[in-house]
Chains A and B, each alone.
Chain A
Amino acid sequence: MLRVKNLQVYYGMIHALRSVSLHVKEKEVVALIGANGAGKTTLLSAVSGVVRASSGEVTLGGKAITRERPDRIVRDGIAHVPEGRHIFKPLSVEDNLLLGAYHRYSLAKRSAVRHEIDGIFSLFPVLADRRKQVAGTLSGGEQQMLAIGRALLSAPKVLLLDEPSMGLAPKVVKEIFGHISKLRAERGMTILLVEQNARGALAIADRGYVLETGKVVLQGPSEDLLANRDVQRAYLGRERED
């Protein structure tokens, strides 16, 4: 479904992505893990068009979307939930969700979109109780749910999630990861999940990639990565046993 080939990104002199290749198949959840500054956010941003790749290719369902404008890439079917959520704080919860459907909204589709918003409310009932509330007053976990709900309303083919667990209490993190696996199970969503919480991410993912200073250093099924010594030492907080 989504394929990234030899992607290179520079920020001035900083070489943030060094020929990264990866792919996500339909209805797959793929985790992308790595330390601070590894380039995870850069990768998602290059896919969604927020950051320009200097070379390489991104294809979605076979169609090249490399270096298109972000507002076009959403139309193509990629929804990017950015790091730090970036919800529209002064607007209501409902308006945030409505803006998620911006690119495909028309008066004719009005009731269909309303219906989908109700679908998001049944997915995240806490949001339903706060639909008229200003989004900035939501708790961190609720804001994350809103950001995900908003992204789903763009009717994406692939969902990019950037550190959905960031800054949340362990109990809330569990809840969010639960929601993410439900998205695949119930909606057949295809997901690329960026996380520093490697254990949580690999637990719900089918496969994973490990990014280190802009390069993919390891990849494989989640179980293999969870069992890998280097991964355990670097990302799962286990001491080397020898």
Chain B
Amino acid sequence: MTAASALLQYVISGATVGSTYGLAALGFTVIYNTTEIINFAQGEFVMLGGMLAVFALRWGGVPLPLAVPLAVLIVTAVGVLVNRLTIRPVQGRSPLTMIIITIGVSILLRGGAMLIFGKDTFSLPAFSQGGPIDLGGATLLPQSLWVFGITLLTVLGMKFFFDRTLTGKAMLACACDRKAASLMGIHVDSMVTLSFAFSALVGALGGVILAPITLTAYDVGILLGVKGFAACILGGLGNPFGAVVGGILLGILESLGAGLVSSGYKDAVAFIIMLALLFWRPSGLFGSARAERV
């Protein structure tokens, strides 16, 4: 393998994993934008996506093409339940209180997953058959194409939702002025529930597309959550497209760090980037939607 193809390989693998960080980050953004809550259970949504697909396949005997959407749907429902049971009852409290509640929720979901699924690591079969594709000396797994394709579709879907649909605009309206939104007849609580549903949905998608590539276990949500959050900061908190790009960028940097320096530093990259940005560019590489709207 030449140096160039090795580099390309790092970028491909990094972007693949980074897509999941990006989707996790998108989930953070959607909730943050409607509620100013940082949902620390976001990583658990990602974990549940992968784990539920594995178990639908293994225990339920559900075929893969059904197990994947089924897992995503169940996690979406979990997102709605989390909102109804833990966030809505304490409405009106400070965002900090809510954030602490989400930390509690993440511990609960992780614990529940451990009890139900055990502590083993699992993997999901790839979505399609076929060997790796050769790309100038580097290899591209067919699953990576699924990852990129689904990530792209999700982003385009979100963009369409916020730019073109009235419900999307109503969600943005809640984000910028709740009182005025309710005076327009928008039921703010429903919009918040919807934001949890979306966030769980994109998180679960991120988990399920990655499960065939990396292994999954009850506790992968911790790191995935942290990395999704780092991706958010990289892209500018509150900026959905920045979030996804930030995730992919983080994945690539991580993979380059692991490949060129030492694989021991892989997970440290996210933390270093996060700290550096908080220091020098708190509004992210692309600025944040929130900073503009003063």
Contact = CB atoms under 8 A, between A and B. Distances in A.
Do the two shown chains form a genuine complex with each other? yes
B183 A88 contact: no
A86 B169 contact: no
Nearest to B169: A95
B192 to A, nearest CB: 13
A95 B176 CA distance: 13
A154 B182 CA distance: 12
- 10 cross-chain pairs, A with B, having the tightest CB-CB distances, nearest first: A103-B185, A86-B180, A74-B185, A90-B293, A70-B182, A71-B185, A71-B187, A102-B184, A88-B173, A99-B184
A99 B183 contact: no
Nearest to B185: A103
Contact of B166 (A48, A79, A89, A105): A105
Contacts of A74: 183-185
Indicate the size class of the contact surface on chain B: 20 to 34
Interface in A182-198: none
Interface in B239-293: 289, 292-293
B180 A102 contact: no
A91 B183 contact: no
B81 interface: no
B184 A100 contact: yes
Given A87-B180, A88-B177, A90-B292, A102 B172 contact: no
Interface string B19-46: 0000000000000000000000000000
Interface of A: 48, 50, 69-71, 74-75, 79-80, 82, 86-91, 95, 98-100, 102-103, 105, 136, 150, 154
B248 to A, nearest CB: 25
Contacts of A102: 166, 170, 184-186
Contacts of B181: 88, 99
Contacts of B182: 50, 69-71
B-side interface mostly: helix
Contact of A48 (B172, B183, B187, B188): B183
Nearest to A89: B293
Nearest to A80: B183
Interface in B44-63: none
A90 B169 contact: no
B184 A103 contact: yes
A91 B170 CA distance: 10
Nearest to A95: B169
B179 interface: yes
B183 A70 contact: yes
A49 B55 CA distance: 48
Nearest to A72: B185
Contacts of A80: 183
10 contacts: A50-B182, A74-B183, A87-B177, A88-B172, A89-B177, A95-B169, A98-B169, A99-B181, A105-B166, A136-B293
A100 B172 CA distance: 14
Given A82-B179, A99-B166, A136-B293, A90 B186 contact: no
A120 to B, nearest CB: 15
Contacts of B166: 98-99, 102, 105
A154 B292 contact: no
Contacts of B289: 90
